[in-house]
Amino acid sequence: MRYYSTRDPSHYVDFRTAALTGLAPDGGLYIPEEFPAYRGAVRNSLHTMSFLEIAFETIRPYVQGEIPDSVLQDLVASAYPFTAPIVPVGDRLVLELFHGPTAAFKDFGARFMARAFSYLRRNEDKPLHILVATSGDTGGAVADGFFQVEGISVTVLYPRGRVSPLQERQIAGLGGNIQALAVEGSFDDCQRLVKAAFGDRRLQQKLVLSSANSINVARLIPQAVYYAAGAGRLWGGHYDTDGAATPRLEGKAEEQRVVKKGIPQGSRVIFCVPSGNFGNLTAGLYAMEMGAPIQGFIAATNINKTIPEYLENGVYTPRTSVATISNAMDVGAPSNFERMKAHWSYEALRSRIQGVWVTDEATRETIQEVKKQHGYVLDPHGAVGWRAVDHLLRDKKLRVEEEPLAVLATAHPAKFSEVVEDLVGPVPLPEALQKALERPVLSQVIPADLDALVSVLLK
């Protein structure tokens, strides 16, 4: 598979180059030259294959010729000792992406990427420095995924005061080869600094830099796996039982209507994706293009509604992000929009995606309502997705009676206890989060200034 920049379709590189450099020299994002289709036998067996089997078959064509099949199988097995159960809640399903070590969907991309980087650089003498901006969960997942990986160091930039206390400890609590910088500004400022750093000659002369944000194709591709696995389960007429971290509280909940009616075989799911930087939804589009049985997507944002407005009127208007209680989605200029536009026309995106935006007030109401009606606790991001579905049902733009619909739960609600507990009371902490809370915060505060970042990196 070859990759090219979104800004220069004539210049091709291999997977190793695309992954290890992160951004193209012209500042563009690397994208695959084609979407490889699942082999017929794989496509027809998605409902019976294991998560690891689907992960191998999904990632394999993107790395073929550079990562041998036997090595890829080992990388996948090491990255994913957990899965992504798709469980019934009321009249819809929830694809739970928080059963990994940092209880967020970013684990799926970051853990594979760390192992792939280690393999791809196995013969290199000069260490690699990963530079990443985070609005919340990316930083924790990257820190965990790369912690103690030989020959690789990581610097995570996050907006000071705009991540939850638990997220900050996941980002800044490990030490060792993980450095955390609290930036006096927004996530957009962090992202701007990272992009500027990749073009800075001072850093280019001293460091080998790469990225671990969703701008890196090596993190985006493995995220397609859970879409294919979830869609495959539903296509076969199946769903999953609760996992160990499923936040379904004790007590009698309303009968699950999905359980009562069942999932018809051959169903093509609609996924509702809480969206910020739009890497997650782009990965879902990749899975759909490969042949996973997906009917379409809902892009659910908070009041940072740049993409829903674009889908409505065709005008892309990036802006400064606004802080919300769904802070990992506080992105006013989504980086992956450039990747989406390179792959699909406006008409093609509109045929695949509906956009909806949700206020903080509605998000809080939704957390309370879902817990009361179904005994299930959503985090603020999942609640944005749930409420977006409610809006479309109200406006008769969806019919869950005819088509299965799954909301992505991108993080465990216990990661946002300062919001969730005021609304529904205490939420039990998964074991991984209990350990993270015991860590100190080991971060350095810097202004949103490139020179300040360069100074820290060159120490």
CATH number of the domain where residue 267 is located:
3.40.50.1100
Instruction: Answer whether residue 298 shows pLDDT above 60.
Output: yes
In a domain, 151, yes or no: no
Alpha-carbon span 222 to 79, nearest angstrom: 10
**If you write DSSP's letter for every residue of 287-326 in order, what string do you get?**
HHHHT-SEEEEEEEESS--HHHHHHHHS----------SS
Number of domains in the chain: 1
* Residue 265 lies in domain: 83-104+218-429
- Asked if residue 387 is part of any domain, the answer here is yes
Which strands, in side-by-side order, build the sheet including 3-5?
8-13, 3-5, 30-32
Question: Over the stretch 239-270, which tens digit does the pLDDT of each residue have?
Answer: 999 999 999 986 555 667 788 788 999 999 99
Predicted TM-score of the model (pTM): 0.90
Answer whether residue 174 shows pLDDT above 90. yes
Rounded CA separation 298/356 (Å): 7
Q: What is the DSSP letter of 23?
A: B
Per the domain annotation, does 75 fall within a domain?
Answer: no
Task: Note whether residue 36 is domain-resident.
Answer: no
* 263 occurs within a structural domain: yes
Cα atoms in the 13 Å half-sphere on the side-chain side of 11: 13
pLDDT per residue as tens digits for the range 203-213: 989 999 887 87
In a domain, 417, yes or no: yes
At 365-406, the pLDDT tens digits run 999 999 999 999 999 999 999 999 999 999 988 876 678 999
Domain assignment present for residue 291? The answer is yes
Is residue 266 situated within a structural domain?
yes
